[in-house]
Amino acid sequence: MLFLQYLTAGIVTGCFLILATIGFSLTRQVEGFLNIAHAELLGIGAFTTWWLNASQGWHILIAGPAAVIFTALVGLVIARTIYDPIRRRGPAVLLITSTGVAFVIGGVIDAMVGTGIRTLDIGLATTYKPFGIRVTDYQIIVVALAAAVSVSLALFLNRTRIGLAIRARAVNPELAASRGIDVRTTSRVTWLLSSGLAGVAGVMLAVIATLTTDLPFHQILQILAVAILAGLGSLYTVIASGLIIGIAMDVSVYWIPAGYRPLVAFSIVIIVLLFRSEGLAGTKAA
Amino acid sequence: MLRTRAKWLRIAAAMLALAVVAAACGNDDDGDGVVAPVEDAAPEATAEAPAPEPADEPAAEAPAPEPADEPAERGEVTIGVLVPLTGELGEFGKIVADAIEFGVGEINAAGGTVCGNIRTVVADTGGDPETGIREATNMIESEGAIAILGPTSGIMVALVDLAKREQVVIMSPYAGTITLNELGGDFVYRTVSSDLGDGAASGLWLSTRGYGSVAFMVQNEESTISPAEVARTEVEEAGIDITDFVVYNPGQPSYQAELTSVLASNPDAIFLAGGQESGVTLIKEAVAGGFDGEWLFTADLAVPEIFDAVGAELINDKAFVEFADADPSLPEFISFEERYSGAGAPFAPNSFDMVTLVALSLEASGQCDGAGINSVIRDVSDGGTAVSTFSEGRDALADGDDINYEGASGPLVFDPSGTVSGAYTIQQAQNGEWVNVEFYPASTFVE
């Protein structure tokens, strides 16, 4: 039973990692670089939720979606004003720039939010015990959101015209452009989507965690681990790798001290890369 | 005791990401001389650039760099106040800075030191050692600071070499790290006891509370693990069952995995040695998970904000917090409390004592630099005529007496590592505020 409890915690951790990483991976596939500032976009989502909910008195069901929309717009503005002008300089320059963007966003959040800890004005989680396994309503929401986001994104990318255009651009940007796909539009929709997904993860971070201005960036190593493990292939592998890392980290606590959770995550990444250097997905395909 | 969280994560993430990209793209044009160590880079930068003018200096003053080893202005002596004003420990940094300013105000109102009035320069470390080193270097090189007061544990450790090299005294009112037990004592002092003392006080409380079982949740940092180990030994020796000793990493959205075994064991109490971010999440998740026992927190959670963050109803009457504290029965503390409205805040007396000790050391040595302070600081705090304010001490010194500064936080006798023995308070959460329920004077722990 204790093992199943660890497994449950791991599934929830994995689902949070999916939420945090899926937008990051979308950017990586379509825009072609690792957006280190993605973690700070979680911070924008989280602290916007906190400000609307705890300071302005908005209900979390209104504050949350508003924070997601705001984060998506901020992400788009950053992309258009900072990343677009230097896109031709290549992924390494974009990555380094995104690290600078992360510092700027972090600094702005620091200046606006101030010191100490922040929590939402929401009730304590309610715990249920189906089959003797302890699970809270907030954990259920994380899992449900991860599932909903994954299914929605899959439907969007596979069933809509713009989604297919994004996939085409991810596979071969030059060919996509030559076949008449509007690169600008696909780029903007990608940024709105990926930043909005960061906003969703940020809202859940605010719901389940205690916020400090450092906390969002603390998630970047695990986001990188999931993204690297997933590889450049389908976004479905992000779901798989998020669950693998989440479950492995939390279930490992059953046998080894909890302080080694990050070690477990990166050990898995290293082991997988030793056998599949392209990650779980193998080759690049949207 | 208060600890800092290093912001290495950003750098590590960037380096990891760079490595990934380099590997993936096959780029071989990375620069190889990345960034010079801060200690080395900062002095060069400050030597080339005009020194920033303190806000209160006349505008006509030339913007040339001040000599490194002289006060910033004739007739003044500069002390750096290096505290976390932002970040998780920002609330504590403000308490320390305010108490130091109060002490400076008293000293200057009494006519200042033999070296002139004390001028403070304040810098925010954000809890980051790298920032701490940069700001401390700037204080010494550009502002002519002869002492730096207020760093937290990680920053104190990071500044040890700089303090000894530049012969500048560094002193902390809350850095309990046991690393200073080895490194402190020469230019490095603290007006608070080592974390091991916190562990002993926590262990004593847990051992005498009548618990049958206790679980330990300990943040993965030296400053929390060391005292927790001491407390664990005491609890074990008392024959109390320790159900779990979980060392967890902070910065997680959730700590459900870490709590799984603890909640399954359902101990009578949980000893939570952690920061505010992890602590609040852990408390909420444990209570939501059905934990109904008592808590003992460490000093980081000894702030009123915890009640808003956790929800006072969850911890009222069930939560206790342990921290190094002044003895409220001491006449020196009572006098301090009468003069300063913020005296009751954590580490405020210890902060006031730091600046008073520095000022008295300047008087006693007659030497307006860190070496002068370092040469007599032990003498002014041990043996001789008891004094409790700067003016009393200065008058006694003028009369040719040896003085013994009895601080607002306690007797302040430095051991070889520059650490004082401490007293500890246990407070209980009652109606949304912390209320004193137990006090362990320093003599409690003397064998």
What confidence tens digit (pLDDT) does each residue in B401-414 have? 999 999 998 888 89
- Chain A interface, best mutation among B5, B91, B260, B303, by max A CB count within 10 A: B260
3-class DSSP assignment, residue A256: coil
Q: Which tokens is A44 given?
A: 């924008």
Q: What is the pLDDT of residue B2?
A: 54
Say yes or no for a CB contact (<8 Å) between B257 and A116.
Answer: no
**How big is the CA angle at B360 (ends B392 and B423), to the nearest 5 degrees?**
85
A214-239 residues labelled b (16+ CB within 10 A) or e (exposed): bbbbbbbbbbbbbbbbbbbbbbebbb
Say yes or no for a CB contact (<8 Å) between A92 and B90.
Answer: no
For residue A124, give the nearest of B276, B309, B269, B261 by alpha carbon: B309
- Does residue A284 sit at the B interface (CB-CB below 8 Å)? no
Q: Which of residues 140-199 of A touch B (CB under 8 A)?
A: none
Q: What is the pLDDT of residue A18?
A: 95
Q: Work out the average pLDDT over B386-395.
A: 93
Within 8 A of B261 by CB-CB distance, chain A residues are: 2, 253
Within 8 A of A36 by CB-CB distance, chain B residues are: 13-14, 17
Q: What is the pLDDT of residue B87?
A: 74
Say yes or no for a CB contact (<8 Å) between A2 and B264.
Answer: yes
Answer yes or no: are the C-beta atoms of B108 and B79 closer than 8 Å: no
Closest Cβ opposite residue A119 in set B84, B85, B309 = B309
Residue B80 — pLDDT band, cuts 50, 70, 90? very high
Say yes or no for a CB contact (<8 Å) between B256 and A262.
Answer: no
Indicate left, alpha or beta for A264 from its phi (over 0: left) and psi (-120 to 50: alpha). alpha
Q: How close, in Å, is residue B257 to chain A by CA atoms? A: 5
- Chain A interface, best mutation among B5, B8, B10, by max A CB count within 10 A: B10
Say yes or no for a CB contact (<8 Å) between B257 and A205.
Answer: no
Q: What is the pLDDT of residue B12?
A: 52
Closest Cβ opposite residue B280 in set A92, A210, A213 = A210
Within 8 A of A259 by CB-CB distance, chain B residues are: 220, 247-249
- Does residue A124 sit at the B interface (CB-CB below 8 Å)? yes
Within 8 A of A217 by CB-CB distance, chain B residues are: 9-10, 13
Closest Cβ opposite residue A34 in set B20, B247, B261 = B20
Q: What is the pLDDT of residue B57?
A: 38
What confidence tens digit (pLDDT) does each residue in B106-162 have? 999 999 999 999 999 999 998 888 999 999 999 999 999 999 999 998 899 999 999
Answer yes or no: are the C-beta atoms of B352 and B408 closer than 8 Å: yes
Within 8 A of B126 by CB-CB distance, chain A residues are: 110
Higher pLDDT, B159 or B25: B159
Q: Work out the average pLDDT over B263-292.
A: 94
Q: What is the pLDDT of residue B66?
A: 41
- Chain B interface, best mutation among A33, A122, A129, A210, by max B CB count within 10 A: A210
Closest Cβ opposite residue B277 in set A95, A204, A215 = A215
Say yes or no for a CB contact (<8 Å) between B21 and A33.
Answer: yes
Q: How many residues does chain B have?
A: 447
What is the 8-class DSSP label of residue B423? E
- Portion of chain B with pLDDT greater than 90, in percent: 61
Positions of chain A with pLDDT lower than 70, given as ranges: 232-233, 281-286
Q: How close, in Å, is residue B434 to chain A by CA atoms? A: 18
Between the two ends of chain A, the Cα-to-Cα distance in Å is: 39
Q: How close, in Å, is residue A233 to chain B by CA atoms? A: 14
Answer yes or no: are the C-beta atoms of B176 and B193 closer than 8 Å: yes
* Count of alpha carbons within 13 angstroms of residue A2, beta-carbon side: 12
- Does residue A274 sit at the B interface (CB-CB below 8 Å)? no
Within 8 A of B290 by CB-CB distance, chain A residues are: 127, 134
Q: How close, in Å, is residue B375 to chain A by CA atoms? A: 37
Q: Which residue has the tokens 């791991």?
A: A10
Q: What is the pLDDT of residue B89?
A: 78
What confidence tens digit (pLDDT) does each residue in B314-341 have? 999 999 999 888 788 889 999 999 999 9
- Chain B interface, best mutation among A42, A89, A95, A117, by max B CB count within 10 A: A117
A-chain residue closest to B277, CA distance: A210
In chain B the domains, ranked by start, together with CATH numbers, are 196-324+424-445 (3.40.50.2300)
Residue B10 — pLDDT band, cuts 50, 70, 90? low
Query: What are φ and ψ of residue B146, in 5° steps?
Result: -105, -10
- Chain A interface, best mutation among B254, B285, B292, by max A CB count within 10 A: B254
Give domain limits for chain A: 22-217
A48-64 residues labelled b (16+ CB within 10 A) or e (exposed): bbbbbbbeeebebeebb
Within 8 A of A115 by CB-CB distance, chain B residues are: 84-91, 93-94
What confidence tens digit (pLDDT) does each residue in B214-267 have? 999 999 987 788 889 999 999 999 999 999 999 999 999 999 999 999 999 999
Closest Cβ opposite residue B21 in set A2, A92, A259 = A92
Q: For chains A and B, what is the number of CB pairs under 8 angstroms?
A: 175
Q: Which residue has the tokens 């460490």?
A: B298
Answer yes or no: are the C-beta atoms of B346 and B325 closer than 8 Å: yes
Within 8 A of A136 by CB-CB distance, chain B residues are: 285, 288-289
Answer yes or no: are the C-beta atoms of A33 and A94 closer than 8 Å: yes
Report the mean per-residue pLDDT for chain B.
83
Higher pLDDT, B308 or B4: B308
Helix (H) or strand (E) holding B350: helix B348-365
Residues with Cβ within 8 Å of B447's Cβ and at least 6 positions away in sequence, in order, are none
